[in-house]
Amino acid sequence: MDRCHVQRGQKGIQPAYPHLAAHRNKIANAEPVTLDVQQRCLVLAAVIEICQNTQKRLHATAITPNHIHVLCSWKDDQFADDVATKLKRIIGMKLSHAKKTTGNRWFSRGQDTKRVIDDEHFDYLVDTYLPEHQKQNGLFWCAPAPD
């Protein structure tokens, strides 16, 4: 009997797709990604470049061996999930290019896109939460305070 699956965004059971099944098996068995120091530096440079090139204001970022945080803002009506997905896609391409490979799964599917609720929350992120990631062998970058 052919195996069926449920596909995100599709309704009901979908027919078997051998290529999709092989891809899912490959990523399910992949080792967790651990970014080395050089890769973390590449991610930092990429986040800064992407934000500059897409009219995002980068406030702060933290990059650890196993995850990243980006605190940025923008004025248009883009959804936070779309912004995060684009960041991950471009950063993943840059990491693959540097490693001279293709097909790497650098980031998990989905992301946590919590909105900053007020100035106190923002200050906590910039002054405490994100800098604390340096204790996890992470990099922390913060935009200079406005004059």
Per-residue pLDDT band at 1 (split at 50, 70, 90): very low
- How far is the CA of 110 from the CAs of 8, 84, 91, in angstroms? 12, 9, 15
User: Which region among 42-51, 62-71, 138-147 has the lowest average model confidence (pLDDT)?
Assistant: 138-147
Name residue, tokens 């935009």. Answer: 143
Report the C-alpha gap between 40 and 64 in whole angstroms: 7
Q: How many CB atoms lie within 10 A of CB 70?
A: 24
What is the domain partition of the chain in residue ranges?
Answer: 37-142
Residues with Cβ within 8 Å of residue 14, at least 6 apart in sequence = 4, 5, 6, 7
Regarding pTM above 0.85, the answer is: no
CATH class of the domain defined by 37-142: alpha beta
